[in-house]
Amino acid sequence: MPGKAIFFDYDGVLTRDKTGSLTMNRFVSEQTGIPYDRVSQAFRRHNKQLNEGESSYAEIWPAVCAELERDLPLDLLIKAFESTPINEKMLHLARALKHRYSVGIITDNKKDRIDYLRQYQRLPEVFAPIVVSAEVRCTKVDRQVFQWAVACLGVDPEESIFIDNTASNLVAPAAIGMKTVYFDDERNDVAGLAHFLDIEFEVSTQGAA
């Protein structure tokens, strides 16, 4: 049975928004009245360096404010972090799996955002390790982030499963032997995912649905 460890993507799997950028852009736009596209453009130019740990939201905030031509309070970022909509059904599944398997997160994300959400959403109560691209300085296009994750648990890639809502993020883990599962975030069929894990990998999801 391959499922000693099961890793979840964060945004789009454990949350109801497809990406963290969507969450952040929408909140800032709604709170300030600045059009979504302008907010998105202001953040987008920093996205790569944020995800790769070369900068943080706090560090790029003055540049974002300058581009938006608004002196916005820094605590708007914290409120934006807090607006992240958790996928309660998926969290319930993860909690059920934790009774039998190691359950972790692998995410392309910003360090200060996930640092805050670790505590705000109490993620370590369910997930360990929580592997963040900005901390390991590589994203999910790189095999290294997945090798890092399985090494944290001392399991072989073949004994691990990774679930993501972006098909291109499944290429690197599959290349090192991890089992991969595409999750359609728009359908959000968590019961269907639980059934697939059971049928395809003999992963017991009893109590999950």
Boundary (domain end) residue, out of 39, 54, 82: 82
What is the per-residue pLDDT for 3? 59
Rounded Cα–Cα distance for residues 38 and 143 (Å): 34
Kindly report the CATH number assigned to the domain that includes residue 143: 3.40.50.1000
Boundary (domain end) residue, out of 62, 82, 102: 82
Q: b/e map of 9-41 (b: 16 or more CB within 10 Å)?
A: bbbbbbbbbebbbebbbbbbbeeeebeeeebbe
pTM: 0.95
Enumerate the β-bridge partners of residue 131: 106
Is the separation of the CB atoms in 110 and 80 below 8 Å? Answer: no
Q: Which domain holds residue 189?
A: 5-17+85-201
What is the per-residue pLDDT for 1? 45
Residue 208: inside a domain = no
Residue 206: inside a domain = no
Low-confidence ranges of the chain (pLDDT < 50): 1, 209
User: Do 131 and 176 reside in the same domain of the chain?
Assistant: yes
User: Do 29 and 65 reside in the same domain of the chain?
Assistant: yes
**Domain total of the chain:** 2
Residue 112: inside a domain = yes
User: Do 29 and 103 reside in the same domain of the chain?
Assistant: no
User: Do 168 and 124 reside in the same domain of the chain?
Assistant: yes
Boundary (domain end) residue, out of 66, 82, 98: 82
Retrieve residue 183's tokens. 């999750």
Is the separation of the CB atoms in 143 and 176 below 8 Å? Answer: yes
Residue 76: inside a domain = yes
* 4-63 tens-digit pLDDT: 999 999 999 999 999 999 999 999 999 999 999 999 999 999 999 999 999 999 999 999
Is the separation of the CB atoms in 203 and 193 below 8 Å? Answer: no
Greatest C-alpha distance within the chain: 56
User: Do 68 and 112 reside in the same domain of the chain?
Assistant: no
Rounded Cα–Cα distance for residues 194 and 148 (Å): 26
Please tell me what DSSP assigns to residue 145. Answer: H
Residue 145: inside a domain = yes
**CA count, 13 A, side-chain hemisphere, 186:** 1
